[in-house]
Amino acid sequence: MTDLVVQRDVAVPMRDGVLTRADVWRPADAGPCPAILLRTPYDKSWIEHFSPISAGLAADRGYALVIQDVRGRFASEGTFVPFRQEREDGHDSIAWLAEREWCSGEVVMSGWSYVGATQWLAAETGPPQLRAIAPLNSSPSYGEGWAFRGGVLERGLIGSWVAAAIGDVERLRPDQVETALYDEELLADLLPDAAGWTGGPASDPYWDEVSVDVHSVAVPVLHVSGWYDVLNEATLAGWRRRDDARDRLIVGPWAHDNLFGHLVADRNLGAAGAGPAIGLGERLLDFFDSSLAGRPSALPRASVFELGARRWLDTDAWPPAEAQPLALGLPGGEFEVRPEDLPPSLGGRGILVGVAGSGWGPRDQRPLLDRDDVLCLEAAPVAGEIALAGPATARLRVEARGGGCRQWTVVLCLRAPDGRLEVLTEGVAQAPTQADEVEVPLGDVCVAVPADSRLVALVAGGSVPRWEPVRTVGRQRVLDGSELVVTTIQPERANP
């Protein structure tokens, strides 16, 4: 293993004179080398938390690893203002780093969640020393896809994130996260920007201002997500919008989890899907190597883990070029809506930061079936097995009546022969009560559906604490003629 030189709390000046601080691990006996920069609000001393690339692995491959506390967090001076500060500060940090005598003048960036956001925002400024970024379980969009889904506030994500992780470090509420979710005064006290996040609409210009135009990012991007990651849809949206031949995509079975593991909630989704099993850190370094050399990456264009089949599917596009939509009919029915007692969120792609179980994963949805406010719709059967690989959407014909706004949540499940009702993905939409059709996007899935299993849609008027509820009371009706539209590929391609 390569010997390391370690420097702690190195001062990194910003253009306004504020000093941020970073820890540096670099090869002891090498000449100038490229640097991997991680910029975090979560305390740089917790190195294992942010990336599958360890300091030792980076050094063995000829890189220095630099982890910096962003402005206003932990060892760094200044006032923390999420998202807004990361463009200029990221640009300044890259320029400073490239000028170190031990640095070759080339910088790449990596990291997970908000650490991924710091990459996107810095890259948008076009620093000439930056060669590539690899955001993991992250997104270039901080409105729709992060704070909102279908225009509906991700209450569980935002409330728990502020209370347990991103708020004032001296006043976090790690033992009160669940009671803090709806405490607007507390959340704003912990993080002033949270008042605008939870109180404003998804259309607020703020979100456009802080989000990234992916076409303005000139460097190659390795997009990494998991099928139970709350930011999965946003990751894939960024991938599709860029459509850059230099980019690569990896989607594993994991959740919004820095371990990138195959044990998700109470299920083993396949050991072959774990980040360590595929050498995720090494793959990131392979991507950086090719980007620094100015050549196309040898990694598959898209590498996604197929749930159920427990195998990786490598393809030249996502969805695969041969994928086709398949419409499956849904029956009708009705359900109650009581804003004070909405169905609980059970797993899926949600997240509750700092809460036991974390709110994600392929949890069994059968506990919801005893409620009169959840409608269980079994999709029309198909002959034999199928493999889903791409977007899914619920197109609901609904009864129009009353006034105001209704919320429609749909949880897409796979019913196994033993009766288990396992969530694959979920979505939410709001529509006027006069609407007679509602489309609920469910995001992408990649899963083998055996011939003896069935796809099921659970429809309700809300899901708490995942999404901000509306206050419309009464019954909501789904009419015959509704359908579930999925994307399929040939089973033999998915299950050789």
pLDDT value at 192 more than 60: yes
Q: Say whether domain 4-141+213-315 belongs to CATH 3.40.50.1820.
A: yes
pLDDT at 495 over 50: no
> For 50-95, how does the pLDDT look when each residue is reduced to its tens digit (9 = 90+)?
789 999 999 999 999 999 999 999 999 999 999 999 999 999 999 9
For the ranges 40-44, 140-144, 458-462, 486-490, which has the lowest average pLDDT? 486-490
The domain spans of the chain are: 4-141+213-315, 324-494
- pLDDT tens digits for range 20-53: 999 999 999 878 999 999 999 999 998 766 789 9
User: Using an 8 Å Cβ cutoff, are 44 and 51 in contact?
Assistant: no
Amino acid identity of residue 322, one-letter, is E
Q: How many helices (H) and strands (E) does the chain have?
A: 12, 24
Give whole-number Cα distances, 356 to 153, 251, 352, 359, 368, in Å. Answer: 22, 24, 8, 8, 20
**Average pLDDT rounded to a whole number, residues 182-207:** 95
Residue 423 to residue 443: CA distance in whole angstroms: 13
- As a whole number of angstroms, the distance between CA 253 and CA 248 comes to 17
Is residue 493 over pLDDT 50? no
Q: What is the DSSP string of 103-154?
A: EEEEEEEEEETHHHHHHHHHHHT--TTEEEEEEES--S-STBTTTEETTEE-
Contact 455, 414 (CB under 8 A): yes
Taking CA atoms, 108 is separated from 29, 92, 347, in Å, by 21, 14, 34
- What CA–CA distance (Å, rounded) separates 230 from 214? 20
For residues 116-139, give the mean pLDDT. 98
CATH class of domain segment(s) 324-494: mainly beta
> What average pLDDT does this structure show over 266-294?
97
Residue tagged 């939509």 (tokens) = 325
pLDDT in tens, 150-183: 999 999 999 999 999 999 999 999 999 999 999 9
